[in-house]
Structure 1
Amino acid sequence: MDAYISVQPAATQQVLHEIRRTIHAAVPDAGEMISYGIPTITIGGHYVVYFAAWAHHISVYPVPRGDEGLATELAPYLSGKGTLKFPLAKEIPFDLIAKVAAQLAAEKR
């Protein structure tokens, strides 16, 4: 994961490091791996959440289901069926990413 982050532009690296830290805080027993070429947070070797850097945004996959309140918060960031896009030109809602990670982890347990 460090290698993936290190090849991104400096400002994007900072965002990725904070997303990584945020997810680990929300899912303290999580592991890490690269899957499909992108950073993946795991529990017991099974994926929980993926995140990836793009030229103008960070994507987080998949979108958690079943929590209507969270779905409302995520609506502005939905891009397609299972992707959240967070524009790099705007403030990244790390607290929302923490909620996503915690919900996805709860779904895996």
Structure 2
Amino acid sequence: MGALTDYLADLPEPEQRALRHVTDLARRLAPDAEEGTSYGMPALRLGGRPLVGFTAAKGHLSLFPFSPAVVDAVRGDLEGFSLSKGTIRFGVDQPLPDAVVERVVALRRAELEG
């Protein structure tokens, strides 16, 4: 098991299911990514660099693309979601659209491989 798998296993069922869905989408787009940590959070890493990170906090879940440019690129598709420079927040009752997660991973992967 890896840091991300272990982290997800320790979450309550609703949060685990919601984050697992996002991580499964990310893994499909980056099957060569490895589990690890970045900035102290569970993450998928590509070529030793952070691709996307994931956390569960009280009241929300977060996807971290580690790139303000990636967050800005999907901002228009996330009306009603809480965003900051490097974080996309969502909830069990407000899941991220699959197309947005896929775009985040594709954009971040392009940054890392560019």
Equivalent residue, structure 2, for 1:93: 97
Q: TM-score w.r.t. structure 1 length?
A: 0.82
Percent identity (aligned): 28
Aligned to 2:45: 42
- Say whether the 8 Å CA contact 1:4–1:38 is kept in structure 2: no
Residues 75, 81 of structure 1: alpha-carbon distance in 2 compared, 3 angstrom cutoff: farther
Give structure 1 stretches of 5+ with no counterpart. none
Q: Is the 8 A contact 2:70 2:108 kept in 1?
A: no
Compared CA separation, residues 65 and 75, structure 1 to 2 (3 A) = farther
User: Which 4+ residue blocks in structure 1 deviate beyond 4 angstroms?
Assistant: 66-69
Alignment check: 8 A CA contact 1:63 1:84 kept: no
Q: Deviations over 1:14-66 (max 9, x none)?
A: 11221111001122221111233322111111111111112222111135527
Aligned residue pairs total 109
Change (3 A) 1:67 1:12: closer
Q: What's the Cα RMSD here? A: 2.3
Does residue 60 in structure 1 map to residue 63 in structure 2?
yes
Distance in 2, Cα, partners of 1:4 & 1:65 = 27
